[in-house]
Structure 1
Amino acid sequence: MSEEWFSQKLESLKINTDNRLSTLSEIRGRLNVTPNLEVRITNRLLSSPEIYDCLEEEGAGRDKAKYRENCGETQRLDLVSDILSICMANLTLRQNDFPLLLQRALEHKKARIRTLALHTILKELQNQVNLNDKDEQSVGDLLSDELLQHVLKGLQDIETQIGNPALSILLMVLENHLHQPWVKESLTIALNKDGVVKCRTYELAVGLAKRSPITLEKVEFIIDHALAELDNDDILMQVNILEILVSLAEQNHGLLYLEKHQVYDVICKRVDSEDNPLDRLLVPGIMKFFGKTARVQPQKIITGYPHMIRCLFECLHRGDIANLPTAFDTLANLAHTQQGVSLLELNYKTALKEIFQDYHSYLHSLASDLKIRAFNSLEAIFTFEQSVCLEVNSILHTWFSYMSRHSDNMEFLLDYCRNPFPDIKISSLNFIRALCCFEWGIEALKNTAGLLEFLLDRKIEFDKDAKYAKYCVIELLADSNAFDVQTNLQLRSYVNEGPYYIQNLLDVAVEGN
């Protein structure tokens, strides 16, 4: 009975074009209230030209505009999209007719309809990964060549809503198909499209290449194309390419490939070059590239490219507002690992003293947003997932002493903790928390008159996030052996009460007495 009803409605769409909106609305309504939709019904709707014909424009010129107005183009698109989405949700990759049922949608001129089909494919692939507890690369054989061709075409689409799901699908399935000549041909076509499509293709190639040297070799023609673009005048494209290449540099085989092609040397020369003033615009992107590489390959960058490290220190010391945010982040990346900290101190001890002294000045003089960026970088520099070795502990203590002007306290941070603006207060408290992971940090806090009292005073804090930031510091202090018995009781009581505890009026009155 239900199948017959849908057949009648499809016939109505074909015969009575004036009532398409109401008919589509009826179909959507019935789909929404029908539990356990029969496969025959959803397949019938997905393969019926009547549904897709509702989106065909009739007439031309002024007649076309009038047609849109009279027939409610947006409403029709909404209704058809909803109907197709409900039907596609019932599809599975294991169906033999899966490609056929999506073909009309994948070839449709409306981007929204093509997007629905691509998201259906992506969702089904993800379901297979979750269902079989596999990694994403294990579903590469689930997509037919026919569907893969449509997805590759989607990669070439200027529309982000189409290109992004196509990219996600290809990252999951393309590795097993790279030997196919038509795949390489399609990717080559993408390389001749506009910048958005090219960057998307570069991202795909790097995402595949970082998995193994063998896969890198298969997509080398794409990465070579990207590297060639580092030598043109399109600064924005070069910055985007550097960002994409970072994940390749994080892998040993990827780093070897980039070094073999002298990518780092070429980039360094761009920084040195005075022939083209626009090259200076690349500096933030280049610093970011070297810094992110150094997070996982500290020795290669810190010892292998001293000019770039000196360029970073110059940016930090010069105080160029445009480059400071990236410079702060890059220094944090260089010091991300214990090896990075040791290598920086070993090779650039004098420069680092100046830089951390500059931090002290910057915290006073910079605008609020840059103050926060500086605090965030300091927090990252002094934060480690595991306990640090004695050598690194000593280096970090030395770096802190440069900032505190060898005063062995946190007095220079006190004003920021009391700042009325929550963002600055929270970022400074987070930095203090990082310092208090070290015994010398807790001692510096103890030596700061008024800081512990400020942290324990609940009555002066109203911002929820600031309360939590203070609580995190006190939690560390409560676990230390640095304080006397009475102070330890206060700290432990604060922790037990939680970050958002509010004293009642009687308690406050008693304390006042």
Structure 2
Amino acid sequence: MDESWFCEQINNLIIQENRLSALSEIRMRLYEISDTSDVQLETLITDRLLSAPEFMECLNCKNEAKEQCELAADILSICMSHMSFEQNTLPTILEWTLTHPRSEIKSIVFNTILKQLERQRNNKKPVQISTELLIHILNGLKEEDCKVGVPAIGILTIVLEQHINEEGIKNKLLNMLTSDEIIKCRVYELGVNLAKQSATMLQQVEFLLDRALSELDNDDVLFQVNILEILVALAEQNHGLLYLENRQVFELISRRVENVDQNPIDQLLIPGIMKFFGKTASVQPQKVIVDYPHMIQCLFESILSGNISILPAAFDTFANLTQTKQGKQLLDQNYPVLTKVTFEALGSYLRNLSTDLKNRAFNTLEMVFTTDSSTAEIEALLQKWFKNLAGEESMQFLMDYCRNPFPDIKVACLSFIKSVCLHKWGLLALKNTAGFVEFLLDRKIEFDKEAKYKKFELISLLADSDVFDMQINLQLRTYVNEGPYFVQSIFDIATEGN
């Protein structure tokens, strides 16, 4: 098998009736070549295929030629995986696919380029593409379909660092900021991705970041929320946080919250603003909890209001605020009463909210009680917070949810209990809750696969602890050794009955 065989099959693509069989043969042979590691043959065939108008015609999908298009797309994907960025002819070869009218085709090319660049970067190899190919990728930002726009952001995040100071590239990016909000957001996200890399890189993309900040005065509230979402990633870096502070972004946003009564439309911004401050607090808790009390007050008010439209964002923000040890301590030191009332409210919400919000509340609590490392002070703090949920009977309260007939609630509750049992006081609370261990060990009452596995994870954690007596420990170990989906045989059950 050589290049001439492929040329013959490409010629067969001219005849409509021969296309399916020819495409099937080509695809099968390309897989075979991949196994032989004949790089030179791969390159020759890839160049020939992607330069053939006959093959490109097969990518023009019509309803009656769906199978043909799928085969051609598979072949394109295989060919793309064999391409090398060192090829000078690459932009010319790919031009048809990079400018193809079908976004699905462009998506294959963009995603394959992204994977190859990520692989090169991970292998510490130099990552470069030609200016011609770079222009095609930049044009991908303007594609309506996110299947093209999103990988374009990924590619440019990797390769644009070396080109960002080129006047033509800057002008192209600035021209995109005269487009609609979707394209603007892609450009701003790209700017933030680049700025995160280093303080030097941030300086080079300030022309994009400053434009993004100016959008916070936009009349479109939804657009402002999207901008805040994008800027969160910048606040997670020290040099990014410094830039935002110098531009007084935190003060600007905080004032919007303080003066929300004067401009009721800003109420719609509250979830996005909370998310921004919450994500920042997950890495910079001191900055948010101490310096912006109005934001913390707004968070507590949002949780305690019971407004179901804002509760999801409030739950997530509270989880982010308490994600670090410092965040937990600062919240308890500065807002002990409000924190206590919030946990009491969460306990109440678990009784009264809709199923999806109950699950969200459980997920929040799981994040709060999950810690990578701990101290005696943190352990005492978390134990106090746990008791605030439902008093001394908090574990019994949770056990009732483990009996819930809805699997998703049961799974969410078991996940939370597992996070509580990462702590010695949590293990003791479960041990001292009458019937809880027996309930967990009873396989006959569980039918949902995910719930079975979540229960197995919890029991595995209990089995590794030292709080149970020898008999219970043996039962826990036996359960773990049998696995999550063990079913006792009818014979064994009958024997037990006798």
TM-score norm. by structure 1 comes to 0.87
Gap change, CA 1:49 and 1:320, over 3 Å in 2: same
Gap change, CA 1:485 and 1:118, over 3 Å in 2: closer
1:330 aligns with 2:323: no
Q: Which whole-Å CA distance do the structure 2 matches of 1:8 and 1:414 have between them?
A: 70
Gap change, CA 1:9 and 1:349, over 3 Å in 2: closer
8 A Cα contact 1:28 1:79, kept in partner: yes
2:217 aligned residue: 231
Q: CA deviation at 1:251?
A: 0.4
1:45 aligned residue: 49
2:36 aligned residue: none
Q: CA deviation at 1:109?
A: 4.0
Q: Which whole-Å CA distance do the structure 2 matches of 1:165 and 1:220 have between them?
A: 23
Q: Which whole-Å CA distance do the structure 2 matches of 1:6 and 1:281 have between them?
A: 60
SS in 2 for 1:226: helix
Query: Aligned to 2:114, which of 101, 109, 122?
Result: 122
1:22 aligned residue: 17
8 A Cα contact 2:278 2:321, kept in partner: yes
Which portions of structure 1, spanning 4 or more consecutive aligned residues, are displaced by more than 6 angstroms?
Answer: 8-13, 53-57
Query: Aligned to 1:344, which of 328, 331, 334?
Result: 331
Q: Which whole-Å CA distance do the structure 1 matches of 2:160 and 2:179 have between them?
A: 20
1:274 aligns with 2:287: no
Matches within 5 A, 1:104-503: 104-129=96-121, 133-134=123-124, 139-140=126-127, 142-271=128-257, 272-386=259-373, 388-405=374-391, 407=392, 410-503=395-488
8 A Cα contact 2:401 2:410, kept in partner: yes
Between 99-108 and 364-373, report the one with greater CA deviation: 99-108
Q: Which whole-Å CA distance do the structure 2 matches of 1:410 and 1:124 have between them?
A: 50
Q: CA deviation at 1:145?
A: 1.1
Q: Structure 1 stretches of 5 or more lacking a match? A: 14-18, 58-67
AA matched with 1:105: T
1:91 aligns with 2:95: no
The count of corresponding residues between Structure 1 and Structure 2 is: 488
SS in 1 for 2:444: coil
Q: Structure 2 stretches of 5 or more lacking a match? A: 34-40
Deviations 1:46-93 (A, max 9, x none): 334455467899xxxxxxxxxx79xx5767755654554454443211
Deviations 1:356-394 (A, max 9, x none): 1111211111111111111111111111122x1111111
Gap change, CA 1:347 and 1:77, over 3 Å in 2: same
Q: Which whole-Å CA distance do the structure 2 matches of 1:50 and 1:3 have between them?
A: 16
Q: Which whole-Å CA distance do the structure 2 matches of 1:489 and 1:372 have between them?
A: 33
% of aligned pairs identical?
52
Between 476-485 and 241-250, report the one with greater CA deviation: 476-485
Gap change, CA 1:53 and 1:236, over 3 Å in 2: same
AA matched with 2:118: Q
AA matched with 2:85: L
Q: Which whole-Å CA distance do the structure 2 matches of 1:106 and 1:6 have between them?
A: 23
Q: CA deviation at 1:415?
A: 1.4
8 A Cα contact 2:254 2:295, kept in partner: yes
Gap change, CA 1:485 and 1:200, over 3 Å in 2: same
Matches within 5 A, 1:75-86: 81=73, 84-86=76-78
Q: CA deviation at 1:331?
A: 0.8
Deviations 1:383-420 (A, max 9, x none): 1122x111111111111121122x26522222111111
AA matched with 1:124: Q
Q: Which whole-Å CA distance do the structure 2 matches of 1:448 and 1:74 have between them?
A: 61
SS in 2 for 1:459: helix
Q: Which whole-Å CA distance do the structure 2 matches of 1:402 and 1:79 have between them?
A: 60
8 A Cα contact 1:119 1:165, kept in partner: yes
2:37 aligned residue: none
Q: Which whole-Å CA distance do the structure 2 matches of 1:26 and 1:206 have between them?
A: 48
Deviations 1:299-334 (A, max 9, x none): 111111111111110011111111111211111111
Q: CA deviation at 1:422?
A: 1.4
Q: Which whole-Å CA distance do the structure 1 matches of 2:452 and 2:71 have between them?
A: 49
Cα RMSD (Å):
2.7
AA matched with 2:82: N
Q: Which whole-Å CA distance do the structure 2 matches of 1:408 and 1:41 have between them?
A: 71
TM-score norm. by structure 2 comes to 0.89
AA matched with 1:476: L
1:63 aligned residue: none
Q: Which whole-Å CA distance do the structure 2 matches of 1:493 and 1:9 have between them?
A: 62
Q: Which whole-Å CA distance do the structure 1 matches of 2:240 and 2:227 have between them?
A: 15
Between 42-51 and 367-376, report the one with greater CA deviation: 42-51
Q: Which whole-Å CA distance do the structure 1 matches of 2:401 and 2:170 have between them?
A: 57
8 A Cα contact 2:24 2:71, kept in partner: no
